Amino acid sequence: MELLEIKNLSLRFGGIIALTALDMTVREGELHAVIGPNGAGKTSLFNCISGVYHPTLGEILLRGENISHLKPNEIAEKGIARTFQNIELFANMSVIDNLMLGCHTHMTSGILSCSLFFGKALRQEEESRLQVERIIDFLEIEKVRKKAVGSLPYGIQKRVEFGRALAMKPKILLLDEPVAGMNVEETEDIARFVLDIKEEMGITIIMVEHDMGVVMDIADTVTVLDFGSKIGEGSPLEVQSNPKVIAAYLGQ
């Protein structure tokens, strides 16, 4: 079943064309990779889906509902979470607080309840904290849970960012270069987490990645972008043998 459908999506900044007439379909439960050379428009696509940019033309349909005009926080409430290429964590806060912020949309307590720390606020704080602890267990970051995020190494920060996205209990998780800048061991860890998220939690994943080894190993479907338009789509094997894709990557 189609969970996310992108129709005729175009994004322009003045004379610069970031995306042209892009069509893409993401089925429920799959791991969909988006690849392409630098400047192909992968991150622009993510920014459109998560509402940071609003597309010039076209539609983004989440279960048939157009979300392309919504604000980022409204899209987050619809169940789309993302991580960023350059880590965007709240560096002065602890790991727990960062993850608790991920639960923000699932909490509803208002000013009065919060300032009294009573009733709904207390109950929701406890529930969210329990959920956060489960995610911390899952990502194996128990030891650093009370440390300020800014003081942690890069690989751990990436995991915390995963955790914050998972705390949002998303339907779709957008991962922007999850293994960029990591060594082989860290890459394997992250790949394992990504597969676990897909299989155990049943979350649909869209992933931008340059590490072809990871993409070919774990992706179900691959979409290839170049200069803002789609040049190939299919299973990893099909994409590898697509002459257009080879041309784009090898520059022939």
Partner 1 sequence: MRIFQTIWGKLWLILFCLALLSLPLWADPYIIYMVNISGIAVIAAIGLNILTGLTGQISLGHAAFVAIGAYTSAILASKLNTPFWLTIPAGGIVAAFFGILLGFPCLRLKGLYLAMATMSFGVVVEYGITHWDSLTMGVRGISVPAPTIFGYTLGDPSKLFYVTIFFVTILTLGAKNLARTRIGRAFVAIRDRDVAAEVIGINLTKYKVMAFAISSFYGGVAGGLYSYSTTYLHPENFTLLLSIEYIAMIIIGGLGSILGSIFGAVFLTAMPDIIKGFADFMGRQFVFLHGRYDEEWNIAAFGLLIMIFLIVEPTGLNGIWTRIKTSFKNWPFTY
Quick one: 108 exposed, middle or buried, by C-beta within 10 A (0-12, 13-18, 19+)?
exposed
The least CB distance from residue 136 to partner 1, in Å, is 17
The least CB distance from residue 115 to partner 1, in Å, is 4
CA distances to 88, 90, 164 from 94, rounded to whole Å, are: 14, 8, 12
The least CB distance from residue 245 to partner 1, in Å, is 30
CB of 20 or CB of 50, closer to partner 1: 50
CB of 13 or CB of 117, closer to partner 1: 117
CB of 91 or CB of 237, closer to partner 1: 91
- In 3D space, the residue among 54, 143, 166 whose CA is nearest the CA of residue 95 turns out to be 143
The least CB distance from residue 16 to partner 1, in Å, is 20
d(CA 199, CA 195): 6
The least CB distance from residue 110 to partner 1, in Å, is 8
Binding site for partner 1 (CB under 8 A): 50-52, 71-73, 76-77, 81-82, 84, 88-93, 97, 100-102, 104-105, 107, 109, 111, 114-117, 121, 124-125, 164-165, 168
The least CB distance from residue 125 to partner 1, in Å, is 6
- In 3D space, the residue among 178, 174, 228 whose CA is nearest the CA of residue 205 turns out to be 174
d(CA 95, CA 92): 9
CB of 125 or CB of 220, closer to partner 1: 125
In a 13 Å sphere around the CA of 194, the CA atoms on its Cβ side amount to 31
